[in-house]
Each structure stands twice: as structure tokens, then as C-alpha cells.
């Protein structure tokens, strides 16, 4: 049976930013089945994990970018041995700072962004593409790619996802999940500080981390071939174990 990898996208930008990574994975490993699963559209984020758990097949590798990576962590912990392994890309254990997790976005910055979204959702989402691409080698081109592929605006679902992003603290899930874990970070990420990689490794010394120097939060779109190579190396290690 073919290995299968599920990829969950980040907040607000749809599945398009993960398509170059999917294509790179399939080019480098045609035997791998890769599926990008859109985030739920329910306005109640409390049911998102239930929806994903029901929709996604078992016995797969679970991965995700940003919010998608955090949801993948929670789902991996829920599924236990039914998850082959966990892969996150530019996903912090907690997106916003906490007293015992300072390597994240300041809470005031997150709250200001949330308020801006409620007031001007379309404009704020467009500004978000600039934050995602900030720090990239060609940030202007990356931002244009993100903006051209923006999905239809669903304010209630996006509000729910943004609220969930501020609430999630995946450290307990990461600690509870006993399977193999790979967490990829970007050195110039404007949303998830690069220091989160070392913080995670200090929190959980048994997981694997990698830091891509000179890359932005849009890592899977900006460096798809490099990210795919890292993921496939990790999967092959798991298959050989």
C-alpha cells in the first residue's frame, strides 16, 4: 500500500500555498500519495478536529503548515498509533506568547491583528500575505503569488480559525504523541520566530527539527523542493525503523 501524507493548510490563504510542495513531493517520490485537506468551514472552531478526524483516512502521515501544523499535532495526539508520523512547517507550539512560552508572537500584536480583521477582513487578509512573505528572498513575488490565489472570503470561518490560532497550545499534544515528529522552521519568519525551533527541541529533545536560513513564513511555497527533500528523508527514516 502506498504511503499517504495529509497536508493541512494555514489560516486564511486556502490550499494553494501548499500545492508547490505537493508537486515537489510527488516529483521526488511518485510512490507517495499526497492529499491537501482544506480546513473546515464551520464557524465553530471547537468542532474542527472532530470534522478533520472524521474526514481523513487513518494510518497516514499527518502534516501541516502554520495553523494546519498545529491542528495536525492535535490530531496526531488524538489518533496515536493510527498516525504514522507528524510533520509541521512554520508552526509554533503556541502561536502567541504565553508566560512559559515567550518564543512566539506578542499577545498584543495578535490581538491587534484580530481586531483589524474584524473591522476590515479583506484588507487585513491581504496585509497578512505581506507578513507571510516578509523575509523571503523575493518577498514581493511571493506576496503576489499568495494574493492571486486567495480563496473566497468566508469571514465567519476565518474568524473562527483566527480565534483557534490564538487559543491553541499544542505542547501537551506534542508530548503525548509518541510517534516520530519533524518540525520545520524558517530563519526569517515574521510570524513564528526562529527561536521557537530551539525552544521546541529543549521542550521535547526526542523530536527532529530543521531551520531553513533566509526563508519566510511562506516556506512551503518559497522553498518547496528543499522542504520536500526534508520531509521525504524523514518519512524514509520512519519506514526503515
Q: Is 217 a catalytic site residue?
A: yes
Query: Model confidence at 198, in pLDDT bands (50, 70, 90)?
Result: very high
Query: What's the pLDDT score for residue 47?
Result: 93
Q: Pull the grid cell for residue 239.
A: 519506514
Percent of the chain with pLDDT over 90: 94
Which CATH number does the domain housing residue 66 bear?
3.40.50.1820
Query: Each residue of 31-43: pLDDT tens digit?
Result: 999 999 999 988 8
Strand-strand pairing, 83-89 and 181-186: parallel
Residue 238 in this model has a pLDDT that exceeds 80: no
Query: What's the pLDDT score for residue 45?
Result: 84
Query: What's the pLDDT score for residue 237?
Result: 79
CA–CA separation, 140 and 64 (whole Å): 24
Residue 188 in this model has a pLDDT that exceeds 70: yes
Query: What's the pLDDT score for residue 43?
Result: 84
pTM: 0.96
Query: What's the pLDDT score for residue 71?
Result: 97
**Side-chain half-sphere of 206: how many Cα atoms within 13 Å?**
8
Query: Each residue of 91-122: pLDDT tens digit?
Result: 999 999 999 999 999 999 999 999 999 999 99
Average pLDDT over residues 156-160: 95
Domain with 176, as residue range(s), is: 4-240
Q: Is 66 a catalytic site residue?
A: yes
* Catalytic one of 133, 183, 189, 216: 189
Contact in structure between 47 and 40 (CB atoms under 8 Å):
yes
Cα–Cα distances in angstroms (integers) from residue 137 to residues 13, 186, 188, in the given order: 20, 12, 10
Q: Is 236 a catalytic site residue?
A: no
Query: Each residue of 53-99: pLDDT tens digit?
Result: 999 999 999 999 999 999 999 999 999 999 999 999 999 999 999 99
Domain count, the chain: 1
* Catalytic one of 3, 15, 66, 216: 66
* Catalytic one of 3, 15, 94, 217: 217
Amino acid at each position: 500500500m502506498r504511503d499517504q501524507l495529509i497536508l493541512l493548510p494555514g489560516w486564511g490563504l486556502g490550499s494553494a500555498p501548499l500545492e508547490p510542495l505537493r508537486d515537489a513531493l510527488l516529483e521526488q517520490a511518485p510512490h507517495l500519495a499526497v492529499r491537501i485537506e482544506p480546513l473546515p468551514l464551520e464557524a465553530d472552531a471547537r468542532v474542527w478536529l472532530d470534522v478533520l478526524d472524521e474526514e481523513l483516512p487513518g494510518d497516514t502521515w499527518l502534516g501541516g503548515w502554520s495553523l494546519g501544523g498545529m491542528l495536525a499535532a492535535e490530531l496526531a495526539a488524538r489518533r496515536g498509533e493510527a498516525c504514522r508520523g507528524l510533520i509541521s512547517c512554520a508552526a509554533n507550539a503556541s502561536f502567541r506568547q504565553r508566560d512559559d512560552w515567550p518564543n512566539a508572537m506578542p499577545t498584543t500584536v495578535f490581538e491587534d491583528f484580530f481586531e483589524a480583521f474584524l473591522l476590515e477582513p479583506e484588507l487585513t487578509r491581504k496585509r497578512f500575505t505581506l507578513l507571510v512573505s516578509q523575509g523571503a528572498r523575493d518577498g514581493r513575488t511571493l506576496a503576489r503569488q499568495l494574493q492571486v490565489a486567495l480563496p473566497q472570503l468566508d469571514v465567519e470561518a476565518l474568524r473562527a480559525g483566527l480565534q483557534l490560532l490564538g487559543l491553541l497550545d499544542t505542547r501537551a499534544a506534542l508530548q503525548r504523541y509518541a510517534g516520530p515528529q519533524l518540525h520545520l522552521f524558517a530563519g526569517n519568519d515574521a510570524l513564528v520566530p526562529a527561536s521557537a525551533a530551539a525552544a521546541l527541541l529543549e521542550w521535547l529533545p526526542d523530536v527532529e527539527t530543521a531551520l531553513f536560513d533566509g526563508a519566510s513564513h511562506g516556506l512551503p511555497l518559497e522553498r518547496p523542493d528543499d522542504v520536500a527533500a526534508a520531509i521525504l528523508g524523514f518519512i524514509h527514516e520512519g519506514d526503515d525503523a
